[in-house]
Amino acid sequence: MKKITIAIDGHSSCGKSTMAKDLASAIGYIYIDSGAMYRCCTLFAMRNGLIAADGTIDEAEFERRMPEIQVSFKINSQTGRPDTYLNGACVEQEIRSMEVSAHVSPVAALPFVRAAMTAQQQAMGREGGIVMDGRDIGTAVFPDAEMKVFVTASDEIRAQRRYDELMAKGQEADFNEVLANLRERDRIDSTREVAPLRKADDALVLDNSHMTIPEQNQWLLDRFHEKISD
């Protein structure tokens, strides 16, 4: 059977990556976390002194160094989940820090960053058989994706989920800071000029505020089976 392309977009911390990973493993597709790629670009910029303490980005130097950034994913044999690699080194933990979260949306709004990551994403998904999550997958990266889902949930519920996730990993976090960060990222993501976050006209909407993980996985699997039997 022909493998399709599945695009899962939505707001920050609404559980897109959990559902996209679970769907991909249930149906034997490859999962790609496009947000991790923007996080890698941000980490690269931070490590190379391209973001000043006040958040100003040295855009000219960043653009010049963009070709040095290669992002890849490798399955972690212990967790069974893909880990993110920046130029061959695992950065899975580091890219999830609050510091990276604080800078990622301005970085992801830069047109040269988007052009480079979009090209890498399109190359990864050329053969179909992928589930990719992000902000612009159904609108800009794969506008012809056969299945598109737009996910959302209330701000407080999303912040609580992200806060719990950081706590579980033993990272430092403050609930109000997490809430403010996700609101600010949603604002920047939705209002930027290039590929803003918006629902594709042909996307199915999922508000998972009051759904458990098994419930959302079942919902997604049911939609997938409907799509492939069309």
Which residues of the chain form contacts with ligand CDP (CB under 6 A)?
12-13, 16-17, 34-35, 38-39, 104-105, 108, 134-137, 185, 189
3-state secondary structure the chain: CCCCEEEEEECCCCCHHHHHHHHHHHHCCEEEEHHHHHHHHHHHHHHCCCECCCCCECHHHHHHHHHHCCEEEEECCCCCCEEEEECCEECCCHHHCHHHHHHHHHHHCCHHHHHHHHHHHHHHCCCCCEEEEECCHHHHHCCCCCEEEEEECCHHHHHHHHHHHHHHCCCCCCHHHHHHHHHHHHHHHHHCCCCCCCCCCCCEEEECCCCCHHHHHHHHHHHHHHHHHC
Minimum CB distance to ligand CDP, residue 19 (Å): 11
| 84 versus 224: smaller Cβ distance to ligand CDP | 84
| 85 versus 228: smaller Cβ distance to ligand CDP | 85
Minimum CB distance to ligand CDP, residue 75 (Å): 19
Minimum CB distance to ligand CDP, residue 158 (Å): 8
Which residue has the CB atom at the shortest distance from ligand CDP?
35
| 22 versus 189: smaller Cβ distance to ligand CDP | 189
Minimum CB distance to ligand CDP, residue 181 (Å): 9
Minimum CB distance to ligand CDP, residue 44 (Å): 14
| 59 versus 228: smaller Cβ distance to ligand CDP | 59
| 29 versus 109: smaller Cβ distance to ligand CDP | 109
